[in-house]
C-alpha cells in the first residue's frame, strides 16, 4: 500500500520491533490458520501493514498467499477496506481474466499480539521491480514491455471502467508476475511437498530459523557484501559489465496487487496518494484526482520497464522542494505545463506565479522523450518515436484529456496484431 513493501528475497527484513502487541503476528513454518485449513510454508514478503506467507490450502490442495495484517485497530480498519475492495474485484471477474489479484478467503486470527485480519490471495510470483533487478536494470525488450503493458492496461480498464476503482499506488512493486522467475521458488514447479504440521524441534533449531538468527545472518551477509564492494542481488545501473540475462521462457503475464489504498472514484480517501516517483501532477498540485492519476503511474512504470530507470527521481535542492523539482523535471521532459493546469490546484500558488512559471526554478532545460530514449538509452530512432507516441499522450498534464486504459489498449503500439 505504501512505498515500503518488500519480498522475502530482498535484504531488509520487517524488523523485530514490530512483533509486539498491535503489530505483526509471528509465524512459524507449519503453523495452521482458520481452523487448520491453511498451513504456513515460508515467508513471501512483508509491508508496513502485514507479513505475507506462502501457505498450503488443505481444502483445495493449492498454494496460496496468506497476508496477515498487524493487529492494532487502524490496521484492522485498513484490512477491512482492502477486503471490501478485493471482494468487489473477485465478484466482478468470475472467470479470473482481468489481470488483478484474486481474494480467495478472509478470516480473523487471534495470537499473542492481538486479533489479526488475514487475507488469502492467489499465489503470485515476483514483482516487476524484481524482474527489472533480475535483468540488471537494463530495460526489457520492447516486445516484452508491450506484453506486460497489455496485462496492466487490461487490469486498469477493469478497475476504472467496470468497478470505478482508483488503485492510487500503481508501480512495478505492485505488479506481480503470475509465476516466479526462478522455478525452484515455485512450489509446484519445484515439486515441493507441502509441510502439513510444525516440524519437531525448538524455535531456534532445525529448519525453523528464528527471526533473531535470520537477522544476524542477514547482517553478516550485508557486511561481507560491503567489504567485497557490491551488494548482493542488486544489479544497479553500474552493473553493465555483467553478462546479459535471458528472459526467454519467463511467463510475463502479470497482475495488479496491493489494494490497501485503493478508493472508489467518487470517494477519494486521501489528499496525497501514490509513491513519489509515480505521482501525477494533479496530485502534487492538489487539483481533483481520479482514474487518470493511475494512468500517469502506468506511463512511468512502462518507461521504467523499457529503460531500467525511473522516469522521475525528484530531490530537494537549494531553495526548492522535492515537489518543485518534480514539476520542473516533468516540464523539462514534456514541455511547459498549460497555465490553467499549473495555476488550478490548491497548492499551485506555492510553486507557480500567476503566469504559470515556477517561482523558484527559473531556467528549465527543455528536452523531449524520444530524444532521451535515443541519447541516454540507445533506442533506435523508430523505436523511440513509436514508444514516445504511445507514452506522451498518457503524460498529458491535463488529466481530462489523458487517454483511458481502454483507449491505450487500442493504440497501435500495443496492438497485438502489430507485434512480431
Ligand X SMILES: Nc1ncnc2c1ncn2[C@@H]1O[C@H](COP(=O)(O)OP(=O)(O)OP(=O)(O)O)[C@@H](O)[C@H]1O
Those residues with Cβ within 8 angstroms of residue 202's Cβ, 6 or more apart along the chain or in another chain: none
Contact 48, 4 (CB under 8 A): yes
Contact 175, 301 (CB under 8 A): yes
Shortest Cβ 130–ligand X spacing (Å): 8
67 is annotated as contributing to ligand binding: yes
Q: Residue with CB nearest ligand X?
A: 47
Nearest residue to 385 via CA among 394, 372, 397:
372
- The reply to whether 179 sits near ligand X by the rule CB under 6 A is no
- The reply to whether 103 sits near ligand X by the rule CB under 6 A is no
Residue closer to ligand X (CB basis): 48 or 368: 48
- The reply to whether 182 sits near ligand X by the rule CB under 6 A is no
- The reply to whether 24 sits near ligand X by the rule CB under 6 A is no
Which of 45, 155, 314, 345 lies at the binding interface for ligand X (CB under 6 A)? 45
- The reply to whether 41 sits near ligand X by the rule CB under 6 A is no
Residue among 57, 157, 169, 370 flagged as catalytic: 169
Backbone angles phi, psi at 353, to 5 degrees: -85, 180
Q: Site size for ligand X, by CB under 6 A? A: 24
- The reply to whether 343 sits near ligand X by the rule CB under 6 A is no
Residue closer to ligand X (CB basis): 40 or 395: 40
Backbone angles phi, psi at 148, to 5 degrees: -65, -45
Question: Would you tell me how many other CB atoms lie within 10 Å of the CB of residue 107?
Answer: 15
Which of 181, 254, 257, 395 lies at the binding interface for ligand X (CB under 6 A)? 257
Shortest Cβ 174–ligand X spacing (Å): 7
The answer to whether 169 is a known catalytic residue is yes
- The reply to whether 49 sits near ligand X by the rule CB under 6 A is yes
- The reply to whether 57 sits near ligand X by the rule CB under 6 A is no
- The reply to whether 258 sits near ligand X by the rule CB under 6 A is yes
- The reply to whether 263 sits near ligand X by the rule CB under 6 A is no
Of the candidate spans 181-189, 252-260, 293-301, 412-420, the one that interacts with ligand X by CB under 6 A turns out to be 252-260
Residue closer to ligand X (CB basis): 276 or 347: 276
Shortest Cβ 41–ligand X spacing (Å): 12
Which of 30, 235, 260, 281 lies at the binding interface for ligand X (CB under 6 A)? 260
- Binding residue positions: 67
Contacting residues toward ligand X, per CB under 6 A: 1-2, 4-7, 44-50, 52, 65, 101, 121-124, 176, 257-258, 260
- Annotated active-site positions, please? 169
Amino acid at each position: 500500500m505504501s512505498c515500503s513493501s518488500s519480498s522475502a528475497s530482498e535484504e531488509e527484513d520487517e524488523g523485530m520491533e514490530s512483533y509486539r502487541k498491535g503489530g505483526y503476528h509471528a509465524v512459524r513454518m507449519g503453523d495452521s490458520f482458520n481452523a487448520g485449513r491453511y498451513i504456513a510454508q515460508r515467508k513471501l514478503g512483508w509491508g508496513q501493514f502485514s507479513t505475507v506467507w506462502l501457505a498450503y490450502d488443505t481444502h483445495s490442495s493449492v498454494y496460496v498467499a496468506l497476508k496477515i495484517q498487524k493487529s492494532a485497530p487502524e490496521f484492522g480498519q485498513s484490512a477491512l477496506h482492502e477486503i471490501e475492495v478485493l471482494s468487489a474485484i473477485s465478484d466482478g471477474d468470475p472467470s479470473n481474466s482481468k489481470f488483478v489479484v484474486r481474494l480467495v478467503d478472509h478470516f480473523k486470527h487471534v495470537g499473542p499480539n492481538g486479533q489479526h485480519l488475514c487475507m488469502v490471495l492467489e499465489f503470485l510470483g515476483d514483482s516487476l521491480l524484481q524482474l527489472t533487478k533480475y535483468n540488471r536494470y537494463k530495460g526489457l525488450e520492447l516486445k516484452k514491455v508491450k506484453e506486460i503493458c497489455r496485462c496492466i492496461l487490461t487490469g486498469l480498464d477493469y478497475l476504472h471502467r467496470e468497478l470505478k476503482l482508483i488503485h492510487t499506488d500503481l508501480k512495478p512493486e505492485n505488479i506481480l508476475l503470475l509465476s516466479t522467475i526462478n522455478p525452484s521458488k515455485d512450489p509446484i514447479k519445484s515439486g515441493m511437498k507441502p509441510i502439513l504440521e510444525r516440524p519437531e524441534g525448538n524455535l531456534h533449531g532445525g529448519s525453523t530459523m528464528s527471526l533473531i538468527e535470520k537477522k544476524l545472518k542477514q547482517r553478516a551477509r550485508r557486511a561481507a557484501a560491503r567489504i567485497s564492494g557490491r551488494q548482493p542481488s542488486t544489479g544497479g545501473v553500474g552493473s553493465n559489465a555483467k553478462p546479459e540475462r535471458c528472459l526467454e521462457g519467463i511467463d510475463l503475464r502479470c497482475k495488479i496487487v496491493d489494494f490497501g489504498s485503493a478508493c472508489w472514484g467518487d470517494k477519494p480517501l486521501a489528499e496525497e496518494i501514490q509513491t513519489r516517483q509515480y505521482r501525477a501532477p494533479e496530485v502534487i498540485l492538489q487539483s481533483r484526482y481520479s482514474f487518470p492519476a493511475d494512468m500517469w503511474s502506468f506511463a512511468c512504470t512502462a518507461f521504467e520497464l523499457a529503460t531500467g530507470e525511473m522516469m522521475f527521481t525528484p530531490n530537494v535542492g537549494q531553495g526548492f522542494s522535492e515537489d518543485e523539482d518534480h514539476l520542473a523535471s516533468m516540464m523539462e521532459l514534456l514541455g511547459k505545463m498549460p497555465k490553467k493546469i499549473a495555476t488550478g490546484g490548491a497548492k499551485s500558488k506555492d510553486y507557480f506565479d500567476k503566469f504559470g512559471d515556477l517561482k523558484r526554478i527559473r531556467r528549465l532545460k527543455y528536452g523531449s522523450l524520444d530524444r532521451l530514449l535515443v541519447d541516454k538509452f540507445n533506442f533506435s530512432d523508430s523505436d523511440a518515436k513509436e514508444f514516445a507516441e504511445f507514452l506522451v499522450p498518457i503524460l498529458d498534464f491535463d488529466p481530462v484529456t489523458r487517454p483511458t486504459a481502454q483507449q491505450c489498449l487500442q493504440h497501435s503500439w500495443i496492438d497485438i496484431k502489430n507485434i512480431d
